[in-house]
Amino acid sequence: MSTKILVLNGPNLNLLGTREPHIYGNETLDDVQFMTEARARELGLEVEFRQSNSESEIVDWIQSAKGTAHGIIINAGAYTHTSIAILDALIAVSLPVVEVHLSNLFKREEFRHHSFITSAAAGLITGFGAKGYPLAVEAMSSILQDAA
């Protein structure tokens, strides 16, 4: 069985490339997926890449990861700052989690400085644009190797 990483993207990330490029960059979500999958292949990992604007769908995906994935990389978008449901799901599945954000949350509005996701995550990668996703894959690879 290959080592599978679930990469989840929250609301409005489907608009990357056109949504506030001065904050989020010019890369589309397809570009991000390509970069993420390419780095994962180099490290011998399989990626399942998903995006939803629906909190309940993200919770369902997290729950379904138990027994099918080895770790979760998540950019929960705005749900980062509001969703206890996503936090509870991440804790419930007991998988390693790496949180990633395109922009530096701590250079943004005050309400973005708090993340519910971080308390379930092994680490947080923020502010490196689309390059943060391959960094998150590297971090997850290291976490999984250390656990083996």
pLDDT for 99 beyond 60: yes
pLDDT for 1 beyond 70: no
- CB neighbour list of residue 59: distance below 8 Å, 6 or more residues apart: 85, 86, 89
The answer to whether the beta carbons of residues 129 and 30 sit under 8 Å apart is: no
> 3-46, pLDDT tens digit by residue?
999 999 999 999 999 988 888 889 999 999 999 999 999 999 99
Q: Does the CA dihedral 139-132-9-49 come out positive or negative?
A: negative
> 40-49, pLDDT tens digit by residue?
999 999 999 9
* Residue that has been written with the tokens 């397809």 in this structure: 30
For the chain, what is the mean pLDDT? 94
> 108-141, pLDDT tens digit by residue?
778 777 899 999 999 999 999 999 999 999 999 9
36 vs 107: which has the higher pLDDT: 36
Q: What is the pTM of this model?
A: 0.94
Catalytic amino acids? 24, 101
And the tokens for 84? 């206890």
> What is the architecture, at CATH level 2, of domain 3-147?
3-Layer(aba) Sandwich (3.40)
- Domain ranges in the chain are 3-147
